[in-house]
Structure 1
Amino acid sequence: MNITRWLATIDLLCARDFPAEYGRTDVGTGGPGCHMAELATSGDFWEGGRTERAETEARYELDRDALGERLTERWGAPGTLSLGGVLERSLSGGEDIPEPWASLSAHVPDVRLWKQPETGRWIALGVSQWDKELPFQLLAVITETDPP
């Protein structure tokens, strides 16, 4: 865990302009109105058992919470947004969910949210896993798009 490095990445992205088009960046991905930083990535679980996976998931959640404590010192208590309902609304076809929330809901169950008062940008922290065999990731999302 390297909270100092993660905070520096978040600070950089809070100040950086958003890319004009979606694509890879030096810290993850980005596009119009959003940056998504891959702060930490675990190994995969093709060979690992359930215990290793559960321990890794717990460690990534603890890392998210520890980083969240530092962001809370800056911007106050976070909100929590469950993305399960967002995914359901996106898949049902009845609602057009804006990015980054639509794609984030496909692999992150929930996020902690802060709104940076200076810029009005949202900062979200979440733990991602696309499938049970794939790595966990600690993600920071900086966006100007309000959560759905």
Structure 2
Amino acid sequence: MTIAQHLATIDRLCFEEFPREHGAPAGSYGGPGGPGFHVVELERSAGSAGGRHGEGEEAEQFEAHREALAERLTDRWGEPAWMSLDGVFLRAQLGDERIPEPWASLGSHMRNAEVWQVNGTSRWVALGVSRLGEGLEFRLLAVITEIDPP
């Protein structure tokens, strides 16, 4: 997909109704969502088939795609907040604080995200690169939510 297609997907989800149940498809895009949020996979790598060869290059490629898309979102909504999700993950694991979805789940596989508030709405857009574990694929994810970041 192109940046223009990614932007169109994000734009549509910014105004689409949220799923009523967790794990439900995000509108017409098929990604997981839940009450108050959509999560959409914009790109996915092929994974590294059991080795580390090329993982650094692949990570750089996904970060470059994220940066290019982030530039366009910044042009629309201004400078994003940079959010470390490591702390969110730790706070959720300690159990001292209830971290709401989608933020709690994102912290388990995304190190950080850029976050914008969508002008004229109560919605937020978070953009980041997800990876569930070593040797697994990278995913460029966009999250559209009405749930304030923790």
**Superposition TM-score, scaled by structure 1 size:** 0.95
1:44 pairs with 2:47: yes
1:45-75 Cα offsets, whole Å, 9 max, x none, are 1234x34111111100010010000001100
Percentage of matched positions with identical amino acids: 50
**Pairing partner for 2:145 from 133, 143, 146:** 143
- Aligned positions of 1:82-121 closer than 5 A: 82-121=84-123
Cα displacement (A) at 1:116: 0.6
- Equivalent in the alignment of 2:132: 130
- Equivalent in the alignment of 2:36: 33
Number of matched residues?
A: 147
**Superposition TM-score, scaled by structure 2 size:** 0.94
- Equivalent in the alignment of 1:2: 2
Q: CA RMSD in A?
A: 1.1
- Give the letter aligned to residue 44 of structure 1: G
Structure 2 runs not aligned, ≥5 long: none
- Equivalent in the alignment of 1:19: 19
CA distance in structure 1 between the partners assigned to 2:38 and 2:24 by the alignment: 10
- Give the letter aligned to residue 69 of structure 1: E
- Give the letter aligned to residue 28 of structure 1: G
- Give the letter aligned to residue 5 of structure 2: R
Runs of 4+ in 1 over 4 A off after TM superposition: none
CA distance in structure 1 between the partners assigned to 2:59 and 2:130 by the alignment: 9
CA distance in structure 1 between the partners assigned to 2:100 and 2:107 by the alignment: 11
Structure 1 runs not aligned, ≥5 long: none
- Aligned positions of 1:55-70 closer than 5 A: 55-70=57-72
